[in-house]
Amino acid sequence: MATLNELVTDFLAQKCIAVAGASRSRHNPGNMIYRKLRKTGYNVFPVNPKIETIEGDTCYPDLQSIPVKTDGVVIITRPAVTEQLVRQCADLEIPKVWMHRSLGFMGSSVSELAVKFCRENRITVIPGACPMMFCKPVDFAHTCLCWMLKLTGGLPKPA
Protein backbone atom coordinates (compact mmCIF):
# COMPACT_ATOMS: atom_id res chain seq x y z
CA MET A 1 0.00 0.00 0.00
CA ALA A 2 1.36 3.40 -1.03
CA THR A 3 1.72 6.25 1.44
CA LEU A 4 0.08 9.63 0.84
CA ASN A 5 3.48 11.12 -0.01
CA GLU A 6 4.08 8.38 -2.60
CA LEU A 7 0.62 8.95 -4.15
CA VAL A 8 1.18 12.71 -4.28
CA THR A 9 4.67 12.36 -5.76
CA ASP A 10 3.37 9.94 -8.39
CA PHE A 11 0.40 12.18 -9.28
CA LEU A 12 2.53 15.32 -9.55
CA ALA A 13 5.11 13.44 -11.68
CA GLN A 14 2.53 13.44 -14.48
CA LYS A 15 2.72 16.31 -16.93
CA CYS A 16 -0.70 16.26 -18.61
CA ILE A 17 -3.45 16.99 -16.08
CA ALA A 18 -7.10 18.00 -16.39
CA VAL A 19 -8.68 20.27 -13.77
CA ALA A 20 -12.40 19.46 -13.61
CA GLY A 21 -14.28 22.26 -11.92
CA ALA A 22 -11.96 25.04 -13.06
CA SER A 23 -13.59 28.45 -12.80
CA ARG A 24 -13.12 32.01 -14.04
CA SER A 25 -13.20 33.32 -10.46
CA ARG A 26 -9.56 33.96 -9.53
CA HIS A 27 -10.25 33.01 -5.90
CA ASN A 28 -12.05 29.75 -6.70
CA PRO A 29 -9.94 26.69 -5.76
CA GLY A 30 -10.38 25.26 -9.27
CA ASN A 31 -8.94 28.38 -10.86
CA MET A 32 -6.13 28.62 -8.32
CA ILE A 33 -5.12 24.98 -8.87
CA TYR A 34 -5.35 25.42 -12.65
CA ARG A 35 -3.11 28.51 -12.57
CA LYS A 36 -0.61 26.87 -10.19
CA LEU A 37 -0.24 23.76 -12.34
CA ARG A 38 0.07 25.82 -15.53
CA LYS A 39 2.63 28.15 -13.92
CA THR A 40 4.77 25.25 -12.72
CA GLY A 41 5.05 23.66 -16.16
CA TYR A 42 2.20 21.21 -16.44
CA ASN A 43 0.23 20.72 -19.66
CA VAL A 44 -3.11 21.47 -18.00
CA PHE A 45 -6.67 21.41 -19.37
CA PRO A 46 -9.55 23.20 -17.62
CA VAL A 47 -12.90 21.38 -17.63
CA ASN A 48 -16.21 23.11 -16.98
CA PRO A 49 -19.31 22.70 -19.18
CA LYS A 50 -20.50 26.24 -18.40
CA ILE A 51 -17.37 28.13 -19.51
CA GLU A 52 -15.66 28.45 -22.92
CA THR A 53 -12.33 29.95 -21.80
CA ILE A 54 -10.34 30.34 -18.60
CA GLU A 55 -7.28 32.57 -18.34
CA GLY A 56 -7.40 32.84 -22.16
CA ASP A 57 -7.25 29.04 -22.62
CA THR A 58 -9.94 26.80 -24.08
CA CYS A 59 -12.11 25.25 -21.40
CA TYR A 60 -13.51 21.83 -22.24
CA PRO A 61 -17.07 20.75 -21.39
CA ASP A 62 -16.01 17.24 -20.32
CA LEU A 63 -13.00 14.96 -20.18
CA GLN A 64 -13.85 13.34 -23.53
CA SER A 65 -13.46 16.70 -25.31
CA ILE A 66 -9.81 17.18 -24.32
CA PRO A 67 -7.77 16.66 -27.52
CA VAL A 68 -5.06 14.55 -25.84
CA LYS A 69 -5.05 11.74 -23.29
CA THR A 70 -4.49 13.13 -19.81
CA ASP A 71 -2.44 11.35 -17.17
CA GLY A 72 -4.61 12.50 -14.27
CA VAL A 73 -7.54 14.63 -13.21
CA VAL A 74 -7.88 17.00 -10.27
CA ILE A 75 -11.58 17.21 -9.38
CA ILE A 76 -13.03 20.31 -7.73
CA THR A 77 -16.78 19.70 -8.01
CA ARG A 78 -19.74 18.60 -5.92
CA PRO A 79 -19.49 14.91 -4.93
CA ALA A 80 -22.34 13.91 -7.29
CA VAL A 81 -20.37 15.36 -10.22
CA THR A 82 -17.22 13.63 -8.96
CA GLU A 83 -19.07 10.31 -9.33
CA GLN A 84 -19.79 11.10 -13.00
CA LEU A 85 -16.22 12.23 -13.64
CA VAL A 86 -14.58 9.07 -12.28
CA ARG A 87 -16.75 7.03 -14.65
CA GLN A 88 -15.42 9.18 -17.51
CA CYS A 89 -11.90 8.51 -16.22
CA ALA A 90 -12.52 4.75 -16.36
CA ASP A 91 -13.94 5.00 -19.90
CA LEU A 92 -10.95 7.09 -21.04
CA GLU A 93 -8.41 4.99 -19.12
CA ILE A 94 -7.20 7.96 -17.09
CA PRO A 95 -5.21 6.28 -14.32
CA LYS A 96 -5.05 8.95 -11.58
CA VAL A 97 -7.64 11.10 -9.78
CA TRP A 98 -7.22 13.69 -7.04
CA MET A 99 -10.47 14.67 -5.31
CA HIS A 100 -9.96 18.13 -3.82
CA ARG A 101 -11.10 18.88 -0.29
CA SER A 102 -11.13 22.34 1.24
CA LEU A 103 -11.38 23.09 4.91
CA GLY A 104 -14.70 22.09 6.50
CA PHE A 105 -17.27 24.66 5.43
CA MET A 106 -15.58 25.36 2.09
CA GLY A 107 -16.59 22.05 0.55
CA SER A 108 -15.30 18.77 -0.68
CA SER A 109 -15.27 16.88 -3.96
CA VAL A 110 -14.79 13.58 -2.18
CA SER A 111 -17.50 10.99 -2.65
CA GLU A 112 -17.09 7.64 -0.94
CA LEU A 113 -18.90 6.02 -3.90
CA ALA A 114 -16.44 7.64 -6.30
CA VAL A 115 -13.45 6.56 -4.16
CA LYS A 116 -14.77 2.99 -4.12
CA PHE A 117 -15.37 3.11 -7.88
CA CYS A 118 -11.78 4.28 -8.47
CA ARG A 119 -10.32 1.53 -6.34
CA GLU A 120 -12.49 -1.13 -8.00
CA ASN A 121 -11.45 0.13 -11.46
CA ARG A 122 -7.71 0.43 -10.80
CA ILE A 123 -7.70 4.22 -10.78
CA THR A 124 -5.22 5.58 -8.26
CA VAL A 125 -7.12 8.03 -6.07
CA ILE A 126 -6.15 10.73 -3.59
CA PRO A 127 -9.40 11.32 -1.66
CA GLY A 128 -8.90 14.79 -0.24
CA ALA A 129 -6.42 17.57 0.46
CA CYS A 130 -5.27 20.13 -2.09
CA PRO A 131 -2.57 19.76 -4.74
CA MET A 132 -1.36 23.27 -3.83
CA MET A 133 -0.19 21.88 -0.47
CA PHE A 134 2.36 19.75 -2.35
CA CYS A 135 3.07 21.35 -5.77
CA LYS A 136 6.37 23.19 -5.39
CA PRO A 137 6.97 25.95 -4.69
CA VAL A 138 4.33 25.74 -1.96
CA ASP A 139 3.00 29.08 -0.73
CA PHE A 140 3.02 29.95 2.97
CA ALA A 141 -0.75 29.45 3.46
CA HIS A 142 -0.72 25.96 1.97
CA THR A 143 2.44 25.05 3.90
CA CYS A 144 0.64 25.99 7.12
CA LEU A 145 -2.51 24.16 6.04
CA CYS A 146 -0.57 20.98 5.29
CA TRP A 147 1.22 21.18 8.65
CA MET A 148 -2.08 21.69 10.49
CA LEU A 149 -3.76 18.78 8.70
CA LYS A 150 -0.80 16.50 9.45
CA LEU A 151 -1.00 17.53 13.09
CA THR A 152 -4.76 16.91 13.35
CA GLY A 153 -4.92 13.78 11.20
CA GLY A 154 -6.91 15.58 8.51
CA LEU A 155 -4.92 14.41 5.51
CA PRO A 156 -6.45 11.60 3.40
CA LYS A 157 -5.65 8.04 4.32
CA PRO A 158 -4.50 5.79 1.46
CA ALA A 159 -6.19 2.40 1.23
Residue 106, pLDDT score: 61
Q: What is the DSSP letter of 133?
A: G
Asked whether residue 157 is domain-assigned, the answer is no
Q: Which domain holds residue 89?
A: 4-152
Within-domain flag for 90 = yes
Q: What CATH number does residue 116 fall under?
A: 3.40.50.720
The number of helices, as runs of H, and strands, as runs of E, in the chain is 5, 7
In tens digits, the chain (159 residues) has pLDDT values of: 789 899 999 999 999 999 999 988 877 889 999 999 999 999 999 999 999 999 899 999 999 999 999 999 999 999 999 999 999 999 999 999 999 987 655 678 999 999 999 999 999 999 998 999 988 997 888 778 877 777 777 778 776
Inside any domain, residue 115: yes
Burial class (CB in 10 A: 0-12, 13-18, 19+), 120: exposed
* 139 is a domain residue: yes
Domain count, the chain: 1
**Is residue 158 assigned to a domain?**
no
Going by C-alpha positions, the residue among 137, 150, 145 that lies closest to residue 39 is 137
pTM recorded for the entire structure: 0.92
